[in-house]
Amino acid sequence: MQDTSPRRPEHVGAEAELKCDFRTAVNHQWKTATSTAGDRGDAMTTRQIGWMIAAGVVLVFLFEMFGTVPAGYRGVVLQFGAPTGQVKQPGLYVVTPFVQHVAKVNVQIQAYQTQAIESASADLQDVHTGVTVNFQVDPGRVVQVYSNFRDEIVDRILRPNVQETVKAATAKFTAEQLITQRAAVKQLADTILAERVEPFGLHVEATSITQFEFSPSFTQAIEAKVTAEQNALREKNRLLQVEYEAKQKVAAAEGEAQALALRRAQLNPAILQLEAIQKWDGKLPQIMSSGGAVPFINVPLGGTKSVP
């Protein structure tokens, strides 16, 4: 069977093969050049990344090795999370990187406030008490405090003991005494709270009672009593003033009477004549009645006798 399909000229086939070979060679050269440039770029990028990683590792080591403890804190040294017993003072410290860590514990005087702790007085009156406690973690026992409580010592130790202290202290006094003897209540609360929390590494600086709130009926009764006492005291002071004024008048009258009696006792005839002589101006009367006596003739002076 004869082949009837058209035949391609031989020179056309050779030219097509030559073009194909040329394109193949160009593509190969381009790929080789591109690959070489990419390899060089990858090499440079890898080197830069390596330097950056090395610098980051060094910085991390430095950050892990050095640190500071601020003023008012202590640093508890931990090794793989466990306390070593070492304590860093405020300032710069150095530890082993990735092995040791420093946990900071606040040893400043801090204030804990609570309001409306419900309790009962000795006479069974409901009392709501507000308290402020100034406390401090013992700087010499920070390892113990951190090991046992971490940063939960206020919630686990201080708060429940403050509540129990307030209830124990207010139960020792009547409702009226809680008001009139506030200093004694505070002193008792200081003593009870210190005994409760110091075994755990807390030191109580001061306890302040900021508020006593009673039931409305008791508050009204206290106000009425205070008002009655103030009125009675006012009347008593007024009575004392009247009595004092009366005593002053009596004393003045008695003084005048005594002075008058003393004056009368001193007024004898000789003294009367002496006073008259002291008051006389030395002139005799110009007109004298017949048979009248000449004044002072019969008065003895200096022991001399009168002329008959």
CB–CB of 207/163 below 8 Å? no
Q: Report, at the CATH architecture level, how domain 110-214 is classified.
A: 2-Layer Sandwich (3.30)
Taking the CA atoms of residue 123, residue 126, residue 132 and residue 138 in that order, the dihedral angle to the nearest 10 degrees is 60
Per-range mean pLDDT, top range of 136-150, 216-230, 234-248: 136-150
Please state, in angstroms and rounded to a whole number, the distance separating the CA atoms of residues 202 and 194: 8
For residues 152 and 50, the model is more confident at 152
CB–CB of 179/212 below 8 Å? yes
Residue range(s) of every CATH 3.30.479.30 domain in the chain: 110-214
Residue 72 clears pLDDT 50, i.e. is over it: yes
Closest to 295 measured CA to CA, from 278, 276, 267, 308: 276
Average pLDDT over residues 28-42: 50
User: What is the structure's pLDDT at 305?
Assistant: 46
Give residue-wise pLDDT tens across range 177-232.
Answer: 998 899 999 999 999 999 999 999 999 999 999 988 888 887 777 778 777 877 88
Please state, in angstroms and rounded to a whole number, the distance separating the CA atoms of residues 23 and 138: 86
CB–CB of 178/221 below 8 Å? no
Q: Model-level pTM?
A: 0.56
192 by Cβ neighbours in 10 Å (0-12 / 13-18 / 19+) ranks as buried
